[in-house]
Structures are given as structure tokens and as C-alpha cells.
Amino acid sequence: MRGERGKRARSTILDVARLARVHPSTVSRILNDRPGLTLRPETRARVLAISKRLDYRPSALARSLRLQRTLTLGMLVPDIANAFLAGIIKGAEEACHERGYTLIVCNTADVPEREATYLRVLRERQVDGVLVASARLSDESIGSLLAERFPVALVNRGTHVDRGTRGNDDLWVHVDDRGGAVAAIDHLAALGHRRIAHVAGPQTTTTGRERLVGTRAALRRHGLTGTIVEAEAWSEVEGYRAARQLLRGDPPSAIFAANDLIAFGVLRAAREAGLDVPEDVALVGFNDIPEAALVDLSTVHVPQHEMGARAAELLIARAEGRPIAEPRILLETRLVARGSSAPAKERVTA
């Protein structure tokens, strides 16, 4: 209509005010439903009508600038394509969305430089908080955030931050890795397995360490020793590599892999070695990513969606200054027995 090129800019609160013959502040109050203000219903209706007619949408930018909060959370993840992390991201995103927050997911690829860059970007954008799922985000970056009292929540990430940083009220959501490992070993032991191996995750991560600790404890309790090999990364490829090493000699009758991806690698290695799963070797993974169900892999279930959601909720509460009853959430795991773990064959040791 106005301006031949259809270049009508988005309408602002001033446009609405002008047409409704009120002051912009009045429009703001009406639209935000400010309590404690008395408005004539007629005025309110008029403003509402005009604002609808103009399809007025307040600028989040201007509002954020004024309010000093952006209703935005940042999230640092090492790999968005990782199915386990994707579950967590979805949980976080959903929780954010429900509360009117927007989530900015940053893919750090586990390289410290990118982490630092992203952290800078997020702070320039004044996000209200940061969700950290990066397994080994450099402690200094995170420490400086914590030191500035910048809202941070750690998801599925180790505890090695809280040295000097009065760490008592940082936000954590993680899962009982140790308990999950114990459950896995118990499960295999209950099936009659005595020669159980563990393909551990990278010992640079707390998750990897915790699962190993649980495994060792459970094995000991069952009076077993067990072989342990370490995968250098949480990947199928590394699992495969580690498993080949494991299957060289006389193979164990059961293998507990530190996560599902590693388990997939084990599976591939076993098949290549001519071993049938579960006939010749039982296999249990960890995390219960969607693919696990597809290949019928027994695994320790981790509530990924819930982890993400709870972490986001925690962070939002903190960002909004609400008191937090339980800043550290430890979620329970649950063993999901599928086809990859069968009872041990009767024949005694080789």
C-alpha cells in the first residue's frame, strides 16, 4: 500500500500507539498485561484491535536490551550428530520452548578453540545461561564463567570443576554411571557369565571413569577379575578397534561396552571374528540410543530426554533467580535386556 516497493517495515509499538491514540507506554502495559494498572476496557480493546490489525510483534531485541534478559539459553555440545547427545538436546530444547526460551546449540567438536569462541559469542548475545554437555570443556573456560556467577548447568559431565569455585551450588544433571555399570555386570553374571570383559570409554572423561569404577566393583563382588580394554573415543570405530584387541586370544563369554556406539563396534568385530552375538558372546551397551533397539542390543537405559529437560529447567530457574531446592540431579538408569545378552553356554572354561 504505502511505499511502492511494498517495503513497509514491521510495525512498532509507536505505530500501534499512534493509531490507537494512546502513549506507547500504554500499549506496552496492555500487551504485557501489567498488573496494578487500571485501564478502561474500551482503551484496552482498542489497542488490542489495532495491534492485531497491524500484526504488531514486539522486537525481542529491544525488549531484551531494556530488560537485560534475552530468554535465550546457549548449549555447548561436542557433537550434535551423536544420537545420545541429540536426545539430550531435544529434551533441553523442548523444555526451553515450553517456557518461552530459545536454545542456541553450539557444536564444539570438542576443540577448545571453538568452545572458547562460542562461549564468547554466547556472552556477547547475553544469553541467560549456558548448558554444558561438552565432555571435557576446558575447566578454565567454565571456571571463569562460574566465577562470574554466570548461570551454568552441567549435563552428563564430570565434577572436576569444583575445586576452587565454591562449587556448592552449581547445577548438575547426570546419571548414575556407576550404578548402571553395576547393573550391567550383575545382569551378565546372573546369566551365568564368568568371563566378562569391559570395553571402557575414554578415561579422560568422568563418565568413562565412573563406568569403569562401577564395573570393577561389581566384578569384584562377583569374585571375577575380568579383562579391561579402553576405547580412546566414544565411537563405533574405537569400539571396533578395542574389541579386536580383546577378541584376539580366547574371547570372553560376555562383553560390557561403555556405551552403545562402542558396543556397535564390538558387534562388528565379533561378527568379523566369526563369533555370534549372543550365542558365542553376550553384549551389553550403555545409553540406550534409538539404534540400540534396532539392532536388539541389551543396554543400560539413560533418560536422555529427561536429562536435557531437567538441566534446562534448572538453568532457567537459576537464570530467573528462583531458589533451587536440588541443584544436583542424579538420574537413575535401568537395564534393558534385549537379544544381545543370552545365558552363558553350559560348557565350563575353555
Partner DNA sequence: CGCATTCGGGAAATCGTTTGCCCGAAGTCG
Partner DNA sequence: CGACTTCGGGCAAACGATTTCCCGAATGCG
Strands 129-132 vs 72-77: parallel, antiparallel or unpaired: parallel
Instruction: Provide the b/e sequence for 63-100 (b: ≥16 CB within 10 Å).
Output: ebeeeeebbbbbbbbbbeebebbbbbbebbbebbeeee
The DSSP result for 105-149, as a single string, is: EEE-TT-HHHHHHHHHHHHHTT-SEEEE--TT--HHHHHHHHHTT
Q: Compute the least distance from the CB of residue 316 to DNA, in Å.
A: 18
Residue with cell 570443576: 161
Interface pick for DNA out of 49, 52, 53, 65 (rule CB under 7 A)? 65
Interface pick for DNA out of 45, 52, 53, 67 (rule CB under 7 A)? 67
Distance CA 92, CA 107 (A): 15
Q: Compute the least distance from the CB of residue 176 to a second copy, in Å.
A: 24
Size of the site for a second copy (CB under 8 A): 41
Residue 102 interacting entry, from DNA, a second copy, none, C-beta within 5 to 8 Å by type: a second copy
3-state secondary structure string across 37-81: CCCCHHHHHHHHHHHHHCCCCCCHHHHHHHHCCCCEEEEEECCCC
Interface pick for DNA out of 18, 31, 186, 237 (rule CB under 7 A)? 31
Interface pick for a second copy out of 89, 146, 218, 257 (rule CB under 8 A)? 89
Stretch that binds a second copy, among 28-36, 63-71, 217-225, 329-337 (CB under 8 A): 63-71
Stretch that binds a second copy, among 16-24, 76-84, 194-202, 245-253 (CB under 8 A): 76-84
Residue 268 interacting entry, from a second copy, DNA, none, C-beta within 5 to 8 Å by type: a second copy
Q: Compute the least distance from the CB of residue 27 to DNA, in Å.
A: 7
Size of the site for DNA (CB under 7 A): 34
Using rule CB under 8 A, residue 121 touches a second copy:
yes
Strands 196-200 vs 227-230: parallel, antiparallel or unpaired: parallel
Using rule CB under 8 A, residue 313 touches a second copy:
no
Helical (H) or strand (E) element with 94: helix 83-98
Contact 202, 218 (CB under 8 A): no
Using rule CB under 8 A, residue 81 touches a second copy:
yes
Contact 159, 103 (CB under 8 A): no
* Nearest to a second copy of 119, 200 (CB atom): 119
Q: Compute the least distance from the CB of residue 269 to DNA, in Å.
A: 54
Which residues are within 8 A (CB) of 283 and not within 5 positions of it... i.e. 6 or more apart?
254, 255, 256, 257, 263, 266, 267, 270, 277, 297, 298, 340, 341
Tell me which residues touch DNA (CB under 7 A): 9-10, 12-14, 21-26, 28-29, 31-32, 34, 37-40, 42-44, 56-59, 61-63, 65-68
Tell me which residues touch a second copy (CB under 8 A): 6, 57-62, 64-65, 70, 80-81, 83, 86-87, 89-90, 93-94, 97, 102-107, 114, 117, 120-121, 123-126, 149, 236, 264, 268, 290-291, 294
